[in-house]
Amino acid sequence: MMDSPKSDKLKSLSQTIDNPAATSTTRPTIPLQENRQGKENKSCTNSFKKRLQPSKQMSKTPIKNLHVDNKSLHKRAHSPRRKKEPRVKAPQMAELRHPSPHQMLPEADCPNVISENILKCLSSILLRISAVKNPGSACDISSPLWTQKPQNHVEGPEFWDPYGICLEFGKRDIGPYKHLCAIDAKSFNAKRTTSTLFLLHRLKLLFRKLASVNLENLNHQEKLAFWINTYNSCMMNAFVENGIPESPDMAVAMMRKTFSKGAKNHEMVARSKYGLELSEPLVTFALSCGTWSSPAVRVYTASQVENELEAAKREYLQATIGISTSKFAIPKLLDWYLQNFAKDLESLMDWICLQLPSELGKEAIKLLEKRKTEPLSQFVQIMPYEFSFRYLLCT
C-alpha cells in the first residue's frame, strides 16, 4: 500500500526534528539584511586588500643568477620618483572614517539606547505600582478561562502556567515563560505613585529625548529594535496615565488613540512612523498591547534583535501550544497572522511543529499523523483571545 503525500510530508517533518542541523535550515526566518550586507562588505574588503597587497607569482623553473647592471641601478636610484596616485577608498573604510550621525552621539542620546531606557523605566514603574515583588509572587495568577483549578495543579513558580495550557492538556515544561513576572488588574494600582516619583521624572526626561531623535541614519536592525521598544513603551505609558480600561472596547479605543487612527495593524504603524522597509513577521511575538493573550515584553537591542525575536517566537509557542491525544490547540494570535508564516492552516501546523522543542514537536507530529485522514477542523482548536489586562515582563 502506497503512502499518501501527506504521510510522506509528516515523516519528513519527523526526520527534520530529529536532525537539529536540518531543522535550523528548514525553519522559515525573516530576511536578514544585515547578513546580506555583511557578505557584500566582506567581498568588497577582500577585493580592496588584494589591490593593496603586491602580487606574488610562483615560478616552477629554478632561479638563475642574473647579471646586474650597476649603471642601471644607479640611474634608477637618482631618477625622480613618481607621485603616488590617490587610491579610491573602499565604501567600508569610508564608513569607518565617516561614521553616521547617530554613531557619533553620546551613547545615552542614541535612539536605540533611549528606547531601551524608556521601556526599562516603564517596566520598573509598573512593578512598583503593582503588588508584585518578584516573578515568584505571580504564580497564583491563573487563566480567566478557568474559575477552578484541578486537583493535580501544582502551586509554585516552577509550575506556573501563564496561559492555562497545562490545565487542559496536562502538566509539562512550558519553557522560560514560567519564570516571567505578571501584572494583572488585581495587582495594578495607578494611584500607588509615592515610590515612583523619581522614575516618573526620569521617564519625562527620556520622552523629551525621544521626541527629538533622528531615525534617518538608522539601519534596518536599529529601526526594528527601536520600533518594538517604542511600541511597547507607548502602550505601557497609556495604562500608567489612564489606568486600566473597563472593557475590551475601551482598550481598543485607547490603543487607537495611542497610535495612528488610520493604522489597522502593527505593521502599518511601523511603516508609517518608523520607516521600516521590510516585512518582519516575528514582531507578532514581540508586541504587547497589555492583554492577557499578549506575548511577554522584553527589551530589544539593535545588535541582537534577530536572535531576540527568534527566542521570543520559540518561547511564546512553547508556552501557548497545547497538545493531547485528540487535540492540537493554537493561540488566536497565530490564526490572525497566519499569512505571515504559512499559506494555509495545514502548512501552519507543519511550521509550528518545527518551532517547538524536540520532544513536544515529535508529539505534535505524532498527533497529525494519527489524525491525517480527518479534516483539521475536527482536532485543531483555536484558543480565544482574552482582552483582560495583563503584562508579562522579562525581568
Sequence ranges of the domains in the chain: 101-318+386-393
Residue 253 has what pLDDT?
81
Q: Identify the CA nearest to 107 among candidates 117, 92, 97.
A: 117
Residue 265 has what pLDDT?
55
In the chain the beta strands, taken as DSSP E runs, fall at: 181-184, 322-323, 328-331, 380-383, 390-393
Determine how many CB atoms are found less than 10 A away from the CB of residue 237. Answer: 18
Can you list the alpha helix ranges (DSSP code H) found in 248-301?
248-258, 266-274
Global pTM reads 0.70
Phi-psi region of 133 (alpha: psi -120 to 50; beta: other; left: phi over 0): alpha
Q: Identify the CA nearest to 391 among candidates 263, 257, 256, 287.
A: 287
User: Would you write out the chain's pLDDT as a tens digit for each of its 395 residues?
Assistant: 555 666 676 667 776 776 655 554 444 444 444 444 444 444 444 444 444 454 444 444 444 444 545 555 455 545 555 544 444 444 444 444 445 555 555 666 899 999 999 999 999 999 999 876 544 444 333 333 222 333 334 445 456 899 999 999 999 999 999 999 999 999 988 778 788 899 999 999 999 999 999 888 899 999 999 999 999 999 999 999 988 888 878 877 887 777 654 444 555 555 555 556 667 899 999 999 999 999 999 999 999 999 999 999 999 999 999 999 999 999 999 999 999 999 999 999 999 999 999 999 999 999 999 999 999 999 999 999 999 999 999 97
Residue 361 has what pLDDT?
96
Query: CB–CB of 285/309 below 8 Å?
Result: yes
Taking the C-alpha atoms of residue 219 and residue 54, their distance in angstroms, rounded to an integer, is 36
Query: CB–CB of 114/160 below 8 Å?
Result: no
Residue 64 has what pLDDT?
47
Residue 177 has what pLDDT?
97
Residue 254 has what pLDDT?
81
